[in-house]
Amino acid sequence: MTCGPGDLPGRGEIGADLPELLEDSVEDLYDNAPCGYLSTLPDGTIVKINATLLRWLGRERDAVVGRMSLPDLLTVGGRIYYETHFAPLLQMQGELGGVALELKTAGGARWPVLLTATVTSDAEGRPRLVRTVVFDARDRRAYEEELLRARDEAERERDRVQRLARTLQQTLLPPVLPDVPGMQVAAYYHPASLDQVGGDFYDLFPLTGDTWGFFLGDVSGKGENAAVVTSLIRYTLRGAAVYDPDPAGVLRHLNTVLYQAFEGTYPRFCTVLYGSIRPDGDGAVMTLAGGGHTPAVVLRADGTASLLHLRGGQLVGALPEARFVVAEVRLAPGDAILLYTDGLTEARTGVDSWYSEEDLRDELSGLAPPTASGVIDAVNRLLVGLGAGVEDDTALLALSVPSRESGRA
Amino acid sequence: MDVVGRYNVVVTGNEAGPVVLLAHGFGCDQNLWRLIVPQLAERYRVVLFDHVGSGRSDVSAWSAERYSSLDGYADDVLNICRELDLRDVVLVGHSVSAMIAVLAANREPERFAKLVLLTPSPCYVDDGDYRGGFSREDVDELLTALESNYLGWSAVMAPVIMDNPDRPELGAELTNSFCRTDPAIARVLARTTFLSDNRADLAKVTVPTLVVQCARDAIAPREVGQFVHDQVRGSELVTLDAVGHCPQLSAPDETAGAIVAFVSGR
């Protein structure tokens, strides 16, 4: 029977008319159901099919029943999926639901469907027939394809962003550290995120004669804004280092540049250690200036370690006139120094606990004799151990004087 | 992780019998053998495992690079044999694992007593006069079918499925888990399976070989089984009166019978 919405009986009216409304023909219910029905032998041969499914396929009953099997109705790719996933699962489980495949109509068109199947067995439990319900999934599939496309697009975009961040990061760090005569040097950069450019930086470069300059620091914030500041800092420090032999003077110059560049707009500042080092007898003398940065760790040949505090040094770029503190350290044969950023010393070790500068000092004491690469390796292991606790980027720079036994590098 | 954990190795059956190593094919995992294991276990020491990326293997051991060629899988088979010190092994490879078995046996023939290639195909894609049964476009279509069906694959559910296959209360979610694979891994495996060409490796087989095919198999048609039989010198060919690509499920008695006759015969 056909009826428009207006002809539907109201709630209270169902009663005497009910038998007339109910579909009395099971055949009609089967044949003209709003989904496809299909019965197959265990080997896939179709033995019964309803009119709805025949209409979707554009085929005559006689051409299908006893002549075709379920996989024959599918696209070739779908057939492989049927043989390698659908059939074995159905055999093992006795039922299977919601498998997305495509029918191939007589006219060659593809018709996306969802298949749900159950196996009926005879008295001895042997599979007798497979009943399959076929749902029209054209709209759904179009929507899913949109989702897949969007996901693929998002993945491509993410790759691009990571590549960009990596490339940008590389321009902010020296590709390889130069060889410093009479010293061993090593550095490491641990990015906390693949998507963002970090705000940590370091560099090592020759100055006049046998003197070398180096720095390591941390810019406030991260991402592309931090990258702009890092770039400015790196070139300013390298420029200032050439004409000002006083490390505190180099930092004062950087302070002026940063303060003026970002005054009034979006304040940008950094913490930094800047130093110069030159050979001194069988060791080296280092002059280190600090602007609000975490203390370096000085490691002695005998395995003792201490923090080199430069108390009173202020953030660079925050105030028009900043104060910087300078210390001089002599490295004897077998001694080393480690500069690092606070990604390491602010790593979370518990709900309310963080890895401290003192923890780091204690961890590194006992390396005898310490070498630059040995120190970096030790800290690297530490970073791996802290795992997800390391929430910020971490930059490391270590310098060491080879011990007398190992000779000069 | 040791090999037992990495490949979810299960050893069962008659400890005194010859070793029969069963390698599952594309799509599912070692559960596909379960209807024939009881019969084999009476006579043989049966070793089952999941390929890395399938079933309950250690997914972290998977890499696209290693598993983009069947050599990576053949490596794994040899690895299992070495680590468990399996000797005179009868290696049974189903579907894509038939070619993995050929590669493994060609690398270390002294390790294997016999090979059973169950519904093998050395090359699924047609090439000149060779009829594999499929075109490149068909393979792309399969990848689409895989993609559509893994929309329901949830990264959140995956650990539950991997870790609790024996908890019946999770039954509903665990349905289909035998054939559940991380979509990224499934894609690479599908490409590796259907785009590999191992025809040239067949003539190099020196281990006694049995080829078992089904009378009707849409994935590995009879002419392909015949091709494998012709190329592997001295091989035997058994055609089961069965339909489909997985005779160990659709005709378990006949499949087990063919394996037993070959392993214990002669």
CB B78 within 8 A of CB B45: no
pLDDT at A405 over 50: yes
Query: pLDDT tens digits for A163-173?
Result: 888 887 777 78
Rounded Cα distance, A254 and A274, in Å:
11
Is residue B181 less than 8 Å (CB to CB) from chain A? no
**pLDDT of A27-77, one tens digit each?**
899 999 999 999 999 888 999 999 999 999 999 999 999 999 999 999 988
A277 inside domain: yes
Domain-located, residue A2: no
Task: Report the mean per-residue pLDDT for chain A.
Answer: 86
Query: Closest chain A residue to B180 measured between Cα atoms?
Result: A85
Q: Residue A171: what pLDDT?
A: 77
- Which of the listed ranges A239-248, A265-274, B26-35, B100-109 does the model predict with the highest average pLDDT? B100-109
Find the mean pLDDT for residues A79-96.
Answer: 87
CA distance B117 to chain A (A): 17
CA distance, residue A43 to nearest chain B CA (Å) = 6
Q: Which domain holds residue B206?
A: 3-122+197-264
Give the model's pLDDT for residue A408.
Answer: 43
Q: Domain of A67: which CATH number?
A: 3.30.450.20
In a domain, B180, yes or no: no
Residue ending a domain, choose from A82, A109, A136: A136
Residues in Cβ contact with A329 at an 8 Å cutoff, skipping those fewer than 6 apart: A285, A286, A288, A298, A308, A337
Q: What is the mean pLDDT of residues A92-97?
A: 84
A122-126, A144-148, A280-284, B175-179, range with the lowest pLDDT: B175-179
Residue of A nearest to B177 (CA): A89
Residue finishing a domain among A106, A136, A166: A136
B153 belongs to a structural domain: no
**Assigned domain for A161 exists:** no
Does residue A130 surpass a pLDDT of 60?
yes
CB proximity B44 to A under 8 Å: no
Residue B158 lies in a domain: no
Same domain as A122, residue A222: no
Q: Determine contact: A46 vs chain B, CB below 8 A.
A: no
Is residue A67 included in any domain, yes or no?
yes
Tell me if A146 is assigned to some domain: no
What pLDDT score was predicted for residue A173? 82
Residue B162 domain-assigned? no
**How far is residue A363 from each of residues A190, A288, A298, A378, measured CA to CA in Å?**
19, 23, 13, 9
Smallest CA–CA distance, residue A175 to chain B, in Å, is: 27
Could you say which residues of chain B have pLDDT below 70? 1, 150-178, 266
Question: Do A222 and A342 reside in the same domain of the chain?
Answer: yes
**Number of domains comprising chain B:** 1
Contact (CB<8Å) B179/A88: yes
Are B142 and A81 an interchain contact pair (Cβ–Cβ within 8 Å)?
yes
> Could you list the active site residues of B?
95, 217, 245
Which of A114, A136, A158 is the endpoint of a domain? A136
Please tell me whether residues A185 and A80 are part of one structural domain: no
Place of tokens 């749900």: A116
A19 domain-assigned = no
Percentage of residues in chain A with pLDDT exceeding 70? 92
CB-CB contact of A208 with A243 (8 Å): no
Q: A18: pLDDT confidence band, cut at 50, 70 and 90?
A: low
A306 lies in a domain? yes
pLDDT at residue A11, as a whole number: 55
Task: Write the CATH number for A205.
Answer: 3.60.40.10
The residue of chain B with its CA nearest to that of A140 is B148
| pLDDT beyond 90 at A24 | no
Please count the structural domains in chain A: 2
Question: Does B246 fall in a domain?
Answer: yes
Mean pLDDT on A197-204? 87
Is A259 in the same domain as A336?
yes
Domain that holds residue A54: 24-136
B246–A44 CB contact, under 8 Å: no
pLDDT above 60 for A282: yes
Q: Give the pLDDT confidence score for residue B145 in this predicted structure.
A: 77
Q: Residue A369's pLDDT band (boundaries 50, 70, 90)?
A: confident
Q: What is this model's ipTM? A: 0.85
CATH (domain of B7)? 3.40.50.1820
B217: contact with A, CB 8 A cutoff: yes
| Chain B contact present for A87, CB below 8 A | yes
pLDDT at residue B155 in the model: 45
| Whether residue A78 is found in the same domain as residue A218 | no
SS (H, E, C) A99-127: EEEEEECCCCCEEEEEEEEEEEECCCCCE
Q: Do A284 and A186 share a structural domain?
A: yes
Residues from chain B that touch A83, judged by Cβ atoms under 8 A, are 217-219, 244-246
- The confidence score (pLDDT) of residue A2 equals 44
